[in-house]
């Protein structure tokens, strides 16, 4: 069962969970992938509710999102990070969907979305279903700011990000 919500009534919960890691799911050609994200924005652009997510062009998630232009944002809600959520966030933030089915390895349960193709995740029940309305390649910088310090961009971390602005089409909490 899904309880429909206004995402802005839960903005504090979403933004509080974000630095700990939430999941962005994508899907194309029946391949479902999830990626841990630790930064993004929630707001109103062009008069519509938007979640903006940033994905490196080197990521498998980027390939899937470019094919469908859809994603879901899945946020822990109602309890502190459980072991299952911590495990899922860890796996989805440290492995590539090109090499492993991260969601199966994490042992999470997928829930069919209402409007978009990518599914929701039962264990991270606060869900935003999004369709990309605008995307923009972010310029590459020689250095990045991480964890309060400047670091040179090297290897996989030198790929630029794409900012995806997703219109929030539906938002809900998955209830047992």
Give per-residue pLDDT as tens, 109-145.
999 999 999 999 999 999 999 999 999 998 766 555 5
**Is the pLDDT assigned to residue 84 strictly greater than 90?**
no
Main-chain dihedrals φ then ψ at residue 65, nearest 5 degrees: -65, -35
Quote the CA–CA distance of 155 and 173 in Å, as a whole number.
38
Residue 154 is predicted with a pLDDT of 52
Can you give the pLDDT at residue 117? Answer: 97
pLDDT at residue 90 is higher than 80: yes
Q: What per-residue confidence (pLDDT) applies to 160?
A: 86
CA atoms within 13 A on the CB side of 81: 14
Q: What is the pLDDT of residue 157?
A: 58
Its pTM stands at 0.90
In the numeric block, the tokens 């998630």 are attached to 61
64: left (phi over 0), alpha (psi -120 to 50) or beta: alpha
Q: Using CA atoms, how far apart are residues 19 and 128, in angstroms rounded to an integer? A: 17
Which of 17-21, 116-120, 152-156, 160-164 is least confident? 152-156
Q: What pLDDT was estimated at residue 122?
A: 95
SS3 string of the chain?
CEEECCHHHHHHHHHHHHHHCEEEEEEECCEEEEEEECCEEEEEECCEEEEEEEEECCCHHHHHHHHHCEEEEEECCCCCCCHHHHHHHHHHCCCCCCCCCHHHHHCCCEECCCCCCCCEECCECEEEEEEEEEEEECCCCCEEEECCEEEECCHHHHCCEEEEEEEEEEEEEECC
pLDDT tens digits for range 12-67: 999 999 999 999 999 999 899 999 999 899 999 989 999 999 999 999 999 999 99
């Amino acid at each position: 069962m899904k309880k429909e919500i206004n995402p802005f009534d839960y903005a504090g919960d979403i933004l509080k969970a974000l630095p700990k890691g939430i999941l962005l799911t994508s899907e194309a050609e029946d391949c479902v992938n999830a990626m841990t994200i630790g930064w993004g924005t929630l707001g109103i652009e062009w008069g519509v509710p938007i979640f903006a997510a940033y994905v490196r062009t080197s990521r498998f998630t980027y390939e899937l999102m470019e094919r469908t232009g859809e994603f879901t944002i899945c946020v822990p809600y109602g309890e502190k990070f459980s072991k299952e959520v911590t495990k899922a966030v860890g796996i989805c933030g440290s492995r590539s969907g090109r090499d492993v089915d991260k969601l199966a390895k994490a042992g999470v349960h997928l829930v069919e979305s209402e409007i978009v193709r990518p599914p929701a995740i039962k264990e991270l029940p606060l869900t935003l279903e999004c369709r990309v309305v605008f995307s923009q390649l972010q310029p590459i910088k020689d250095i990045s700011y991480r964890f309060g310090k400047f670091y040179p961009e090297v290897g996989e971390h030198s790929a630029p990000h794409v900012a995806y602005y997703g219109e929030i089409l539906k938002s809900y909490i998955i209830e047992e």
